[in-house]
Chain A
Amino acid sequence: MSCPHATTTTVAWCFGEAPEGHLEHVATCAECQQVVEEQEAVLAAVGDVAPALRMAAEAAPVEPTPNAGRSWPRVAAAVLAFAAAALVAVVVGGSFAPAPEPQQVAVAPVDTAPPAVALPPLRDVDARLDALQLELDALSADPSIL
């Protein structure tokens, strides 16, 4: 997939959630036409079973997960804390080497606040993560593009 609209605007357009003028693009884009064809084919097949799907979804609802997949701040904090701890260990270890009991070296606990490091704005990172997610999805859907 190389058309940026194929996995985003065109999907929304199929459901009436993008400007109707997007038709002009879809009509001239083979990738987006394929997306529309696939949406139509699946909705045609699923049409008769949608109520049963709905009942199944209601029977076992998946709770909304705010910030699902957004564990990166905690991961980043843990990595930074670990890096800081490793740095402390290296500095301290280097100053007093050979350390007879290195296990007694004070190591910053992982759950302390990470050192003040300038992180990119949350939205930028989110956007990049989303873009990566879309790329991964596209690769999973169509490995031949590799």
Chain B
Amino acid sequence: MPKATMTALDARIAEVAGELLGFLRRRVPAEAEELAQETWLRVTAANPDTDAAGFRAYTFTVARRLLIDRHRQRQRRGPLVALDGGLAPPPDPTSDPHSDAVAAQTLAVVHDTLAAMKPEVAQVFRWRTTTNLSFKEIAARQGCSLNTALGRHHHATKQLVKALKAAGLGGTP
């Protein structure tokens, strides 16, 4: 786009666009372009009134939220990975052994970390991650307040980030 016709918003987007695309490519290579487009659509619609640093923070917050949505969609239709052969589907000839090994290791770390937590804390994480239960529904099932359920999920997430990082399995924001 010729500079003369660029709006202030265009100029701001141009400053962050490359960094955003790189960020998304590292996380979801196949969907990076699409997510970047969706991010810019939302940022353009909001046109946040901030300085350059604030604009960048706003943009990456939108992108991360879209990534979360994408991860959750993937979880609902993701492949099966099991620690033992019992739960696993027949081997996929196109699967990548390294990815499978990483997934199995990740599952072991997640399983062990959750097992070490207070049961009610691990339960919130399991339910919110593997079911469609909302935090309100989880709170009702656990007989606690909504804030307690949210706090438990936050605590579980912190512990998992730490464990995954320690195992060299991502978890690094």
**Interface flag for B12 (CB, 8 Å):** no
User: Of A28, A44, A48, A54, which one neighbours B67 at CB under 8 angstroms?
Assistant: A44
Complex CA–CA separation, A137 to B148 (angstroms): 9
Give chain A interface residues in 1-19, CB to chain B under 8 Å: 6-9, 11-17
State how many angstroms separate the Cβ of B44 from the closest Cβ of chain A: 14
Main secondary structure of the interface of B (DSSP, over half): helix
Residues of B within 8 A of A107 (CB): none
Please count the residue pairs between chain A and chain B whose beta carbons lie under 8 angstroms apart in the complex: 199
Complex CA–CA separation, A12 to B157 (angstroms): 13
State how many angstroms separate the Cβ of A129 from the closest Cβ of chain B: 9
Residues of B within 8 A of A67 (CB): 143
Which chain A residue shows the least CB distance to B57?
Answer: A27
Which chain A residue shows the least CB distance to B172?
Answer: A41
Beta-carbon contacts of A48-83 to B below 8 Å, as 1s and 0s?
A: 111111111100001011111110000000000000
Give chain B interface residues in 135-173, CB to chain A under 8 Å: 135-136, 141-148, 150-155, 157-161, 164, 169-173
Is the beta-carbon distance between A52 and B80 smaller than 8 angstroms? yes
Is the beta-carbon distance between B65 and A12 smaller than 8 angstroms? no
Complex CA–CA separation, A67 to B87 (angstroms): 34
A: residues with CB less than 8 A from B are 6-9, 11-17, 23-24, 26-28, 33-57, 62, 64-70, 126-127, 130-131, 133-134, 137-138, 140-142
B: residues with CB less than 8 A from A are 27, 46, 48, 50, 54, 57-58, 60-62, 64-65, 67-69, 71-72, 74-76, 78-83, 87, 99, 103, 106-107, 110-111, 119-121, 123, 126-131, 134-136, 141-148, 150-155, 157-161, 164, 169-173
